[in-house]
Structure 1
Amino acid sequence: SARMMDLVERAQGGEAEAFGRLYDQYSDTVYRYIYYRVNSRATAEDLTSETFLRALRRIGTFTWQGRDFGAWLVTIARNLVADHFKSSRFRLEVTTGEMLDANEVERSPEDSVLEHLSNAALLDAVRRLNPQQQECVTLRFLQGLSVAETARVMGKNEGAIKTLQYRAVRTLARLLPDDAR
């Protein structure tokens, strides 16, 4: 949109407030993308911060060749997640249970179990997709990217993304138990 183009151009000119607004607009999307991949709140927060730090350092290299700024950020995040899993530090990490934030309310045990079972069945089914289908489903449904944005992030054309998405959804329908559909 014209508003986003203006913010990016102002950020490229060194205006901190413009970059702050871009952060406000896209930080949740980047965090959710990373969190789904790493399944750790602390690591997702660290990698989200690193994504925006790298974006700030390289904002001058961003060009509007039909590419959304959010897709550019997700591409940076995607590379950071890949680097995280390749690092020897990741293999040595021992995770501990996440503590509840002060503003979170604990749900009943029954609700937690039912939600966990539903999420576990869905995540298990997604993990059984091939890697490209997993990436497509993550970008389209968990991150809410459009077909065009997903195509840019994955380096494919829109028709290929539509086909990939269709096949992934059909496969998920077969993999999920009847009560989880």
Structure 2
Amino acid sequence: MTAAAELLEPDEDGEGSWALVKASQNGDTAAFGRLYERYHDVVFRYIVYRMGDRGTAEDLTHETFLRALRRINSVTYQGRDIGAWFVTIARNLVFDQVKSSRYRLESTTDNIVDIAPPTTEGPEQLVLEGATRDALLRAIDMLNPDQRECIILRFLNGLSVAETAVKMDRNEGAVKALQHRAVKRLAQLMPDGVR
């Protein structure tokens, strides 16, 4: 096996990746490119799972590797694969994105549209789906602030019960009860023909 092939082959403790990190720290941009190729999918899958939106996940994945490139000289071997460092950067970007009120305001309706399955039905079906989506958004707006925040965090932002509990500063049991009441209230608020 050539020396270049050894750099690409990760061994059990990730030393192959760390050899690429060392080369990147010494100015080898091709080595960082190989790190990008190796960890791009891991980072992207992590972000898309957390965010539920491919476009946002692509942007945050790009930003993750841009920040990593800027800070590559500050990273040192900690006994773990370098992928953990990339995912930590991604996690921090996801938290920042979710915390920003701008994200909540902009993504709410987009996420509902993205979640709706594509149809091959005619224009009548598209009109009905649009009416259903609009009715759901109006119903969400009629919930009390805690119920609305719970529904947005759980179903539009895709957070788990535990993550929602942290965001709302409540325990998991309280979030489950709040979610149950919010879903029940949404069912009451939706027009009869739409439920």
Q: Deviations over 1:77-120 (max 9, x none)?
A: 223452796xxxxxxxxxxxxxxxxxx88752101001111111
Look up the match of 1:114: 128
Change (3 A) 1:137 1:55: farther
Shift in Å at residue 140 of structure 1? Answer: 2.1
Q: Deviations over 1:14-43 (max 9, x none)?
A: 6533353121243265153xxxxxxxxxxx
Return the alpha-carbon distance in structure 1 between the equivalents of residues 185 and 131 of structure 2.
19
Look up the match of 1:149: 163
Unpaired segments ≥5 residues, structure 1: 1-5, 33-43, 64-68, 86-103
In the alignment, does 2:39 pair up with 1:27? Answer: no
In the alignment, does 2:89 pair up with 1:75? Answer: no
Q: Deviations over 1:30-59 (max 9, x none)?
A: 153xxxxxxxxxxx83x5455445555485
Query: Match for 2:136: what amino acid?
Result: L
In the alignment, does 2:128 pair up with 1:124? Answer: no
Query: Match for 1:78: what amino acid?
Result: V
2:193 counterpart SS class: helix
Structure 2 counterpart of 1:160, from 157, 167, 174: 174
- What is the TM-score with the length of structure 2 in the denominator? 0.51
Return the alpha-carbon distance in structure 2 between the equivalents of residues 136 and 174 of structure 1.
17
- Over the matched positions of the two proteins, sequence identity in percent amounts to 36
1:179 counterpart SS class: coil
Return the alpha-carbon distance in structure 2 between the equivalents of residues 60 and 24 of structure 1.
12
Return the alpha-carbon distance in structure 2 between the equivalents of residues 20 and 171 of structure 1.
40
Look up the match of 1:41: none
Q: Which has the larger radius of gyration?
A: 2
8 Å Cα contact 2:151-2:182 kept in structure 1: yes
Unpaired segments ≥5 residues, structure 2: 1-12, 22-34, 69-84, 106-117
Shift in Å at residue 122 of structure 1? Answer: 1.0
- What is the TM-score with the length of structure 1 in the denominator? 0.55
Which stretch of structure 1 is more off in the superposition, 53-62 or 127-136? 53-62
Return the alpha-carbon distance in structure 1 between the equivalents of residues 87 and 127 of structure 2.
47
8 Å Cα contact 1:48-1:77 kept in structure 2: no
Return the alpha-carbon distance in structure 2 between the equivalents of residues 171 and 84 of structure 1.
21
CA-based RMSD:
4.0
Show the 5 A alignment for 1:1-181.
15-16=35-36, 17-27=38-48, 29-32=50-53, 45=55, 47-52=56-61, 55=64, 57=67, 62=88, 74-82=94-102, 107-181=121-195
